[in-house]
Chains A and B, each alone.
Chain A
Amino acid sequence: MKYAHFISVIFWLAVGLLLSLWSLSYNIGTLTQPGPGFYPLGLGILLIFFSLVLLGQGIRSSPETRQVLPFSISGGWKRVAYAVLILLLLTFFFETIGYLLTFFLLIMLLMVGAGPQSWKRILLVAFFSALGVYLVFVLLLQQPLPRGFLGV
């Protein structure tokens, strides 16, 4: 069985179990008077069932399809992790530092992580993106974006 396939099975099996057990903490009701826990419990059981079918399919698959995890060995996943980290960090500081600085930093940091580029290009794109947001979303569409300590 493929390693990735096995991980998928374990993940969905765990989700199915969690959903079923959690649903039991709500009123299940009866077949003709279903309570709030009835429908999610059914979904949890279905998820467990389908995960087991997936497991069965994996066991039956031929051994030559074995492979490691489906991530590129060239290190592409590091770019993904970096982008997610930047997004998370800027989300947490969005209201404190304000939209202008957030969007400037978002573009700048993502471009820096994307590969070798000139600083002039990076700073210009970041500056004009933040300016564009200000002109279109704040001035024109009057969107209430957090101003942060800059107050702009």
Chain B
Amino acid sequence: MGIFDHLALGFSVVFSLSNLLFCFIGVFIGTLIGVLPGIGPVATISLLLPVTFGMNPITSIIMLAGVYYGAQYGGSTTSILVNIPGEASSIVTCLDGYQMARQGRAGPALGISAFGSFIGGTASIVGLMLLAPVLARAALKFGPPEYFALMLFGLTMVTYLCMGSIIKGLIMAVAGLAISTIGQDPIVGVTRFTLGSITLMDGIGLVPVAMGVFGVGEVLTNIEENIKQEVFAAKLSGLLPTLKDWIDSKWPIVRGTLIGFFMGILPGGGVVIPTFICYTVEKRLSKHPEKFGTGTIEGVAAPETANNAATGGSLVTLLSLGIPANVSMAVLLGAFIIHGIQPGPLLLTKHPDLFWGTIASMYIGNVMLLVLNLPLIGIWVKLLKVPYNILFPLILLFCFLGVYSLNNNIYEILIMIIFGVFGYLIRKFGFEGAPFLLAMVLGPMMEIAFRQSLIYGDPLIFFKRPISAILLIIALFLLITPLFSKITRKRKEMSEVLEE
């Protein structure tokens, strides 16, 4: 079967009433939570997981993937109108987007971010479609040492690319791996670190921890700071960018697509880093770099295109290797496993309908988002006026309800609260939650691959097989390079922008 036959299969899967409906629900909820500061795709996908239990796995994945890429569309609205990024991936958009709004050009800023998102998102699906099957075929040759090295490389990338201190990132990654050892040993079945608790025998669930660190923890941080949003009062008119806007944004959109997609594939690349890189690249290539930060349209087009292009990229590693590139993908991996499907090289042959159905749904979802976003901006603005002291109790209610619905177990709510406090404290002490959660998801797979590799009888096997040796050497190199002051300075600059 050629690629077009596969795609035809995908579209035949999506064009059922229920799949189209849930694709719409996914992208709608995604945009909604993208608009709202204080709740992101990680907490939302976790929250929706119990709702998908009774659903067909394909429909569930179509909806949850829709939440993920939909959130990137919504995040720009708050950046441009309120100067508060709805998502971390829209932080850079604040710099020029809000300035454009202040100059009465909120319409074109929102317009170009919607069109850029559409172009970046759609182009990245083409990349995903072409690259994922090739990578999946290559991964069929992987044994436990290669898988272990690949996961270790992924975790190193996550800590390397996180905004703050690398050593703090490494501590969070090791802590996440340690948490994943609670429960039954994956090889011999011995119960570890459970203190006799029946709830802990199955291990600590991903959803209570994800909702705790990224849902409750985020809310606690916000209520301490007592955030108040003020929506820019300018009347929105002329959402369609002018011809000059298009000419100015043409190349930033192309570069944003390429950088976003390839950075999205890299483990740890996520959707945030590409936006910073794109903004820096555009500023450097511009004939008027001094205009960046004062409301230039290139400063909105490039990062908004990049964060959507990265969504397709990050799905490449999840679908073809079964390894999540970022935290949202880690939660999506949890969703696959709950539905009894293991993403990875065999997904394409065992569940072609799911693989191609998800890809086809993303084409349709991106069109829905374009159609949905521009006319609904007025509604999103009204939604932003809902005070945070009404919004945060509702977010906590949904977290409470979502975690309980998972297994009807109040101890899991308790776990969520404990990890909520943990999430709040790590933010306060300058640690990041992403390496922790990603390590927690990869932990059991890493332990199995690590111990199976050692059973080969040679502890140096990781360095004797070429693929694992190369991956481990790159990982070691990444850990050593921050010693060079230039890279450390760049990281410091990025974390300063984030703090501002």
Instruction: State the A residues within 8 Å of B (CB).
Output: 4, 7-8, 12, 15, 19, 22, 26-27, 31-40, 43-44, 46-47, 50-51, 53-54, 57, 70-72, 76-77, 79-80, 83-84, 87-88, 90-92, 94-95, 103, 106-107, 110-111, 114-115, 117, 121, 125, 129, 133, 137, 141, 143-145
Contact = CB atoms under 8 A, between A and B. Distances in A.
Contact of A143 (B165, B397, B405, B451): B405
B408 interface: yes
A124 to B, nearest CB: 10
Interface in B205-227: 216, 219-220, 223-226
A40 B447 CA distance: 9
Interface residues of B, number: 56
Interface of B: 50-51, 165, 167-168, 170-171, 174-175, 177-178, 181, 185, 187-188, 190, 192-193, 216, 219-220, 223-226, 389-390, 392-394, 396-397, 400-401, 404-405, 408, 410, 413-414, 417, 420-421, 424, 428-431, 447, 450-451, 454-455, 457-459
Contact of A47 (B178, B187, B430, B454): B178
15 contacts: A32-B454, A35-B188, A40-B192, A47-B171, A50-B174, A54-B171, A70-B430, A72-B225, A79-B223, A106-B393, A106-B400, A114-B389, A129-B394, A133-B397, A143-B50
A106 B171 CA distance: 35
A70 B428 contact: yes
B51 to A, nearest CB: 7
Nearest to A143: B405
Of B50, B401, B405, B450, which is in contact with the most chain A CB atoms at under 10 Å from its CB? B401
Contact of A91 (B193, B224, B417, B430): B417
Contact of A87 (B174, B401, B417, B431): B417
Nearest to A72: B224
A36 B390 contact: no
The DSSP consensus for interface residues of chain A is helix
Contact of B389 (A40, A70, A117): A117
A80 B390 contact: no
A35 B454 CA distance: 11
A30 to B, nearest CB: 9
A137 B401 contact: yes
A33 B188 CA distance: 12
Contacts of A33: 454-455
Given A70-B428, A83-B220, A110 B405 contact: no
A51 B171 contact: yes
A53 B159 CA distance: 15
A12 B171 contact: yes
A31 B454 contact: yes
Nearest to B169: A50
Contacts of B396: 83, 87, 106, 110
B223 A22 contact: no
Contact of B188 (A36, A77, A94): A36
A72 B417 CA distance: 21
A15 B175 contact: yes
Contact of A106 (B168, B175, B397, B459): B397
Contacts of A15: 175, 178
A76 B226 contact: yes
B429 A47 contact: no
Contact of B417 (A38, A50, A57, A84): A84
Contacts of A4: 428-430
A115 B405 contact: no
B428 A111 contact: no
Contacts of B408: 144
A137 B421 CA distance: 27
Contact of A43 (B178, B401, B405, B458): B178
Interface centre among A34, A57, A111, A117 (most CB of B within 10 A): A34
B183 to A, nearest CB: 11
A114 to B, nearest CB: 4
Nearest to A106: B397
B429 A110 contact: no
A114 B223 contact: yes
Nearest to A71: B428
Nearest to B457: A32
A12 B223 CA distance: 26
A50 B429 CA distance: 16
A36 to B, nearest CB: 4
A28 to B, nearest CB: 12
B463 to A, nearest CB: 14
A41 to B, nearest CB: 10
B224 A44 contact: no
A53 B165 CA distance: 12
A141 B405 CA distance: 11
A55 to B, nearest CB: 10
- Which of B165, B171, B396, B404 is packed against the most chain A CB atoms within 10 Å? B171
9 closest A-B pairs by CB: A114-B389, A76-B224, A110-B393, A36-B185, A36-B190, A40-B181, A107-B393, A70-B428, A31-B459
A77 B224 contact: yes
Contacts of B447: 39
Contacts of A22: 193
Contacts of B226: 76, 79, 115
Given A38-B451, A71-B428, A110 B392 contact: yes
